[in-house]
Amino acid sequence: MTRLGAAMDLRFTETVPEFVAFLRTLGLDHVEIRQGYLDCHPDAPTPRELRAIAAETGVSYTFHAPFRDANPGNFNESLRQATADAVKRSLDTAAAAGAEAVVVHGGSVPRRYPDRVKAVSREHAVRSLRECARHADDLGVHLCVENQRWKSARERNTETPERLAALLDDVGVDSEYLGVTVDVGHAKVTGVEVESFVDEFGDRIRVAHLHDNDGTADQHDPLREYEALVEVIDADYNVFEMKSLADIERCVAGGGS
């Protein structure tokens, strides 16, 4: 069953029960919980409490692993390992809460660095994701690597379908639990058609992130006419990534103004 919902951004002051109640008034039935929200909110729920909320309200969950200051491609081995461990802890929390998937980034490195440093960074990203994918397989929770947008200052391993596919090939974990998150806003600002990700990954796409921009920056504006994209991507979980509850309402209303 396809689910439509929104992300619990760490900037939101609402508790999870308050946020879920808000989503349900809009007819939405899914919550993506950012690890940063759980780390920072004074009333962050436990996995058991999350399960109880889901049982009472009928919502489903995905999680987003740490990404601020967390880089699976960090070329410092201690920091690389710390990132992999943090992602695995998010997988553990997701499994305990009854979530189906955890979204993760694929690593990056400054473009100005020499090729030998970039090679180390990418190999570290492969090692980190391989380690996390095996853990996800053990838990039965999907680990979904997200396409990131092109940036002039940083080289991302997942900017295009080709780069993301090559990364997953090198990770080399043959598991139904290693999947993909398609972020439509990241694709747009990178200049890549969403359909090219669908053509490349098909039913490996478990999660879709929904937001809009003017093509110049990752603005996370309300997305107009999201229904067509949801149909094309055909993900299990579709998530509005907004900066305010009012913007979530604008998405559902079908307008970005």
CATH of the domain at 177: 3.20.20.150
Query: What range does the domain containing 71 cover?
Result: 3-253
pLDDT for 69-112, tens place per residue?
A: 999 999 999 999 999 999 999 999 999 999 999 999 999 999 99
Average pLDDT of every residue of the chain: 96
The whole model's pTM is what?
Answer: 0.96
pLDDT in tens, the chain (257 residues): 799 999 998 889 999 999 999 999 999 999 999 999 999 999 999 999 999 999 999 999 999 999 989 999 999 999 999 999 999 999 999 999 999 999 999 999 999 999 999 999 999 999 999 999 999 999 999 999 999 999 999 999 999 999 999 999 999 999 999 999 999 999 999 999 999 999 999 999 999 999 999 999 999 999 989 999 999 999 999 999 999 999 999 999 984 44
Q: What is the dihedral sign for C-alpha 195, 232, 5, 89?
A: negative
Domain count of the chain?
Answer: 1
